[in-house]
Amino acid sequence: MILVDSSAWVDFFRGKSDPRVTRLDEALRDEDDLVILPIIVSEVLQGFRSESDFERARTVLARIPMIQPTFDSHVRAARLYRTLRRKGVTVRGTVDCVIAQACLDFDAALLSLDADFERIARSTPLRLWRETAG
């Protein structure tokens, strides 16, 4: 299972060239086991200027199965943030910890272009999709 972060979706919809975007495109074509979080849907869709681009993206995102973190998952995300902070790892936002914790809870690899997740993965069991693992 692969959870796709907003950074990968944004670059995908912008048509950027990156191995992670290529992997996302392949996963969509092959109907691989992709999942998304509700907050990622909001993050991605809020950036569109035109209604037609917004609707195109909404249609694509609506096809991806959504996972729902539980109350306990959010508690674990808060603990994750606090643990990382104690270790001196700076995480820019709560959302990143919620995403990382969801990956840990659902045993999903994270497909992201966000360097914050690299820092989280160095201090946790978070699995990031790597080009060699693709």
Let me know: does 112 contact 2? Beta carbons within 8 Å.
Answer: no
Q: Hey, where are the domains in the chain?
A: 2-129
Q: Where are the beta strands (DSSP E) in the chain?
A: 2-4, 34-35, 109-111
What is the arrangement of strands in the sheet containing 109-111, beginning at the earlier edge strand? 34-35, 2-4, 109-111
Homologous superfamily (CATH) for 2-129: 5'-nuclease (3.40.50.1010)
Query: Looking at residue 132, what is its pLDDT?
Result: 53
DSSP state of 44: H
Across 76-96, average pLDDT: 91
pLDDT at position 133 over 60? no
**Residue 92: what are its φ and ψ, rounded to 5°?**
-70, -20
